[in-house]
Structure 1
Amino acid sequence: MSALALLLRLLYAALTAVAAAFALAPWTREAFVRYGKTRPPQTRHPAPAAALRWFASRTVPKNWFSHFYYVGAGLGALLLSDVGRWPWIGPGSGTHSAPWGLVPRLAALLGDQREAFASTPSAHAILALAMYNAHVLVRLKESVFDQPATDAKMHIGQYAVGLLFYTATPLALVVDAYDSPRPRPLLAWMAPAGMAVFAYASLHQWRCHRILFGLRRRSLSAPRQTGLYAIPSGDLFTQVSSPHFFCEILLYASIWIATGCQSTSVLWVVLWTAVNLGITARETHRWYRETFGDAYPRSRRALIPFVW
């Protein structure tokens, strides 16, 4: 395993552990986990020390989510333009003939030998990166042009974690392709299956986002309305409270499937996404039930249809 791959996996393991730990204590859950409509007023942050209470109150606009997608789209496109040209360089040309060789260069900074990255990335790794780029570009377009601007906040720590995630993930999608020059033979159905799951999740996430954006626009256009939020309905909202989170997990799982289920680094990405969004989905589900009471459909699960 290269030092770069190890660093990326440790990063996702650390983020997953911290998110799970923060979700356990009431004050860390309120201060650092909840955001947007589920985030309580700053006066309710019961941090045990003044310095922690100050840090817990440091927020940025939730609309800054678009920054994540700018970073992810930019770095993802740069990496794709790099590794996507490698199959056309010719046999035996090695990393030094690559256009930039970004991953080998980063690995060399961590002490890895460039010769260990002499193999060209597989077509499955390039496919995984292309799928990621398509997803991030859609989210960038939605966050910039479709999502209504609000006064919702998120903690500055969540903002930093988001920037870190969208910086690390494009690298995680391809690092194992260099790290395993002789991967196990891939089953022929894996790439088509991954793309099929990706298409399903992308379509339903787009539909669910349209439903949420439509509700938000209607509430913003009616300032005299008693409530700022309404119960979403339609598509996968008939089954779960956060179907867009469920689709996000499916999207990253589909990318892992497209790699032939062989990339351990991508599997860590899936694990972090599932834990992080699972915690957020639980808070969102709880908020819906507390806000709307008996009017909220009791048959809806939090995240996974018919399960949880």
Structure 2
Amino acid sequence: MAEYKALSATEMDTVDAVRTFFILATCTTLSVSAIPSFRSRFVNYGARATKAAGSKEPSSGAPASSGVSRLLDSLASWTVPHGFFTHFYIASVLSSAFWATQLPLRGPAFWAVAARVSDEHLQNSMSLNQIIWCWVLMTIQGSRRLYECVALSKPSSSRMWFVHWLLGIGFYVVTNMAIWIEGTGTLLSKDLTLDDVRITRVPSPRTLLCVPLFLLASGFQHDCHHHLASLKKYTLPSHPLFSRVVCPHYAAECVIYLSLALLAAPQGEIVNKTLLSCLLFVVMNLGITAGSTEQWYIQKFGEASVRDRWKMIPWVY
């Protein structure tokens, strides 16, 4: 343990590093989306992307592009197929499997993380029961989304900026660490046994609230994705969940991560701050995409198509 304590004194606290990743990702994405020339090139993708994004063709009658514009166009042309979304969930499932071996056995990757967790974050720790539940639910989320990408996705020529792809993979890798990292103190002090995973244990009130909330949101999101996959290309959704919300599947995603943040709250805390920073990124990122989706619906089907509909979260946005 001495060598790990020595390392922790010279490295950034791992919990703070994970939170910083989510906060920086949130701020960077928000900043890029706030600049029109960046948003059109780097934020929108798929059907929402403009022709200018990644295109070097000047519009008719437009003056020659400036050097900065040509540079931005060149960067925007670095794209990957939209189908690479599947890689996000492959990364998530593999990460879940990886930590399922590292945590119980206290493998080298676990020690590399635990060695850099400060005493402050070790003191108020998640319980083993919370860690197990969060791992199970995150595994369900990654596996379901992987299944949907494989079974429901249609062939598409759409592309996305390569940074979206890298950020998405990074998000799921880091999130699979975030779901247990505030339980490091417990993992260091107590061995995981079969007794800890008995289904006969009486669930806590927090578990009784958060697990059904997660499963309900997951079911809603699956229904939305199944309906969207059944539509003909570029047609309006008709599922009841879309009647008052443009992107109800995004709202469901936010509820999924909210339930995890509440479920993983360490002793004496209302919410898990690491997963709260993760939720912040999810809300901001999907909120931007929901706004773009609303604008695309207006351009494609008219303002009446989204009239009296919230973009993502009813009564909020």
TM-score norm. by structure 1 comes to 0.82
Contact kept, 8 Å, 1:194 with 1:257, in 2: the verdict is yes
Aligned to 1:3: 13
Aligned to 1:300: 309
Deviation at 1:103, TM superposition (A): 2.5
- Tell me, in whole angstroms, the C-alpha distance in 1 between the residues paired with 2:117 and 2:138: 28
Q: Indicate how the Cα distance of structure 1 residues 191 and 121 shifts in structure 2: closer, same or farther if over 3 A, else same.
A: closer
1:172 to 178, 187, 198: 178
Residue-pair matches, total: 276
Which ranges of structure 2 fall in alignment gaps of 5 or more residues? 1-7, 59-64, 189-202
1:15 to 22, 25, 50: 25
Contact kept, 8 Å, 2:82 with 2:160, in 1: the verdict is yes
Aligned to 2:192: none
1:1-308 → structure 2 map (5 Å cutoff): 3-41=13-51, 42-43=54-55, 48-83=68-103, 86=104, 98-100=105-107, 102-108=109-115, 122-179=128-185, 188-215=204-231, 218-219=232-233, 229-260=234-265, 261-308=270-317
Aligned to 1:91: none
Deviation at 1:188, TM superposition (A): 3.5
Contact kept, 8 Å, 1:192 with 1:258, in 2: the verdict is no
Structure 1 stretches of at least 4 aligned residues deviating more than 6 Å after TM superposition? 44-47
- Tell me, in whole angstroms, the C-alpha distance in 2 between the residues paired with 1:180 and 1:136: 25
Deviation at 1:258, TM superposition (A): 1.3
Over aligned residues, Cα RMSD in angstroms? Answer: 2.7
Secondary structure of the 1:60 match is: strand
- Tell me, in whole angstroms, the C-alpha distance in 2 between the residues paired with 1:129 and 1:294: 43
Whichever residue aligns with residue 55 of structure 1, its letter is: L
- Tell me, in whole angstroms, the C-alpha distance in 2 between the residues paired with 1:99 and 1:12: 26
Contact kept, 8 Å, 1:202 with 1:251, in 2: the verdict is yes
- Tell me, in whole angstroms, the C-alpha distance in 1 between the residues paired with 2:285 and 2:126: 33
Whichever residue aligns with residue 144 of structure 2, its letter is: V
